[in-house]
Chains A and B, each alone.
Chain A
Amino acid sequence: MPPVLSVKDLSVSMNGTRGMVPVLEHLSFDVAQGKTMALVGESGCGKSMTALAIMQLLPEDFHVTSGSILLDGVEVLSASPKELRSLRGNKMSMIFQEPMTALNPLYTVGDQIGEVLRQHRGLSRRDAHTQAIQFLKAVQIPAADKRVDAYPHQLSGGMRQRVMIAMALACKPKLLIADEPTTALDVTVQAQIFDLLSELQDDTDTAIVLITHDLGAVAELADDVAVLYAGRCIEQRAAHEIIARARHPYTRGLMACVPHLQLGRMSNHASAELDEIPGMVPPLGARGPDCAFLPRCAFAGDICRAQPQPPLERIDAGAAVSCWRHQEIAP
């Protein structure tokens, strides 16, 4: 079966004062029905731009410069505004990081959920309202028939994100993009939201692109992972393998940054110290052909300095890495 979403060689640039600055370079990945692809990386590495490029909602000054995005066989990049409108909210939908600002403060949540159904399903106002209650129940909002008439400011952060999820899934999309859906929420609520997403995915068979820097969530929810660094994909593999078999020094660094609770260990034990990756992601416009991770890499050798960043190299089934020394690092 063809994948629901197929991104090939996608590049995005920003039209800056000094010409086109690459933001995302040659990204490729597929997501199959019912599967979850996680895009992982630090802030500023191009995760959100990927999401917005798929939705064709890139901010002004940002443009797709090459590549192809196939959604259920339809080329999104060449779709007319009208075709895009019929895709958005219908075949693909998105939930955003900040559920307070992503919902319009002046309309009830019922109205905002119903709006999607009125637009894409042609439901009447009354039917859309009834359906909205059903969707609020589906995302486990208590007293849904009352909350449907609540305004966003009357709900908690977690509830608002549930409303966003209800809104995104109202038309049973083929693809759901979740852009850091839990970053703005309490830790306990984060787990609930991930559980909810996972349950809903089981019911609807929606393909999910999950953008996150929560590696715990990746392990729990994702089938595949693409690690992005400075606008380039540097490693891709199955999610359950990423912790044990990561090859790229950056991925390994990210793994080491995750705190682990282990019973019976003393605080003076080496593993009690949390690792960090020194330095920062190079800013836009300061990225040359060299490996972007080079200045921060503990494993950098002569070959890394002499050669440009290698392309993603397929290493085993479903896994690829972009590093000159990956075999030495993790044989």
Chain B
Amino acid sequence: MNLALHILRQVANAVGLLVAVLVLNFCLIHAAPGDPALVIAGEMGGASADVIAALRVKYGLDKSLIEQLFTYLGSVATGDFGYSYYFNAPVTGLIAQRIPATLYLVLSALAISVVIGTLLGVVSARKPNGLFSQGVTVISLAGYAAPVFWTGLMLLLLFGSVWPILPVTGMTDVARPKVGFAHVVDILQHLVLPATTLALVFIAQYSRLARVNMIDALTADYVRTARAKGLPEFVVIGKHALRNTLIPIVTVAGLQFGHLFAGAVLVETVFSWPGMGRLVFESILRRDYPTLLAVLFFSAVLVMAANIVTDLVYRLVDPRIRSGAR
């Protein structure tokens, strides 16, 4: 199938899904207990019933749910995600501010976990019953079983007080310049701990997946053929077996993108990383519906974008999908 046409279809599907996401989230949030007008009143240090009623009118909370929904959908269609009660700022601006930080975190965690996980899996597949392989299995399970916030807190303790070599909160150091190479290094240093924390959970999964698929690939006929051709072992493994191992990893990496976001919420909270995750956390606490809805919407956008990218990578790796043979 024509590639451009294929992408177009994927995007069209994604748009349909996004509308569904908007409606569903809107209904879910309004079904949850809590009244934003009361929260705002609370923030103001208490208010009379008249003031609360005025707040409701100001934010359109006095209208029926259906009316609110259509008003909301209408404004989203024009790119307006409303005004945050809590942050007292337009939501679109808030999100635009936060998205880069989350993307840094999620993408570096993804890269770390895929690369290290695959490497560990590939090496342990060479001797599936060897010491290294068993070590990887145990560490993987530990990494997978430990809750991400706990791992985060432990790393924070370790590198914050026991062995303070890495920054443990925020994304930048106030004292450092905000431009040029120094700024990049600053962000990278701050990124190490949150990204590692988030990656640890997923390293476990990718190393297991890579190990199993590599063991499979190593017994495959085409690997025997490659050996029968007299190719050196690094070509047999690095070219013939590895690429076949990557197919399921790409699939899972695409599917995991949503989970990464979920993990990011906790990691960002633990490390005060100024991303969308923390925004979610804060907006839930404050019943800040417009912000929460927008964050959920943009998370969905990112997850769908990730799926489209996955699909393209998949085609790059596997020619059978390119020609629609499978």
Contacts and interface: CB of A to CB of B under 8 A. Distances in A.
Interface of A: 55, 57, 59, 84-90, 93-94, 96, 98, 101-108, 115-116, 119-120, 151, 153-154, 164, 167
A316 B230 CA distance: 40
Contact of A151 (B228, B317, B323): B323
Given A96-B221, A96-B224, A104-B225, 13 more contacts: A55-B228, A59-B219, A85-B232, A89-B231, A93-B228, A101-B220, A103-B225, A104-B240, A106-B319, A107-B240, A119-B232, A153-B319, A154-B323
Interface string B215-251: 0000111101111111110010001100110000000
A311 B225 CA distance: 35
Contact of A93 (B229, B235, B240, B323): B229
B222 A102 contact: yes
* Shortest Cβ-Cβ A-B pairs, 4 listed: A88-B230, A89-B230, A89-B229, A101-B221
Interface in B295-326: 317-320, 323, 325-326
Nearest to B221: A101
A251 B179 CA distance: 85
Contact of B325 (A103, A120, A154, A164): A154
7 contacts: A59-B219, A85-B230, A102-B221, A119-B230, A153-B325, A153-B326, A167-B225
B225 A96 contact: yes
A105 B222 contact: yes
A97 to B, nearest CB: 9
Contacts of A86: 230
Interface core residue of B219, B227, B228, B320 (most chain A CB under 10 Å): B228
B229 A57 contact: no
A119 B231 contact: yes
B319 A119 contact: no
B228 A57 contact: yes
Contact of A88 (B219, B221, B227, B326): B227
A98 B221 contact: yes
A106 B230 contact: no
Given A101-B222, A104-B244, A106-B244, A115 B229 contact: yes
Contact of A167 (B229, B232, B240): B229
Nearest to B322: A151
A151 B229 contact: no
Contacts of A88: 227-230
A93 B230 CA distance: 9
A164 B235 CA distance: 19
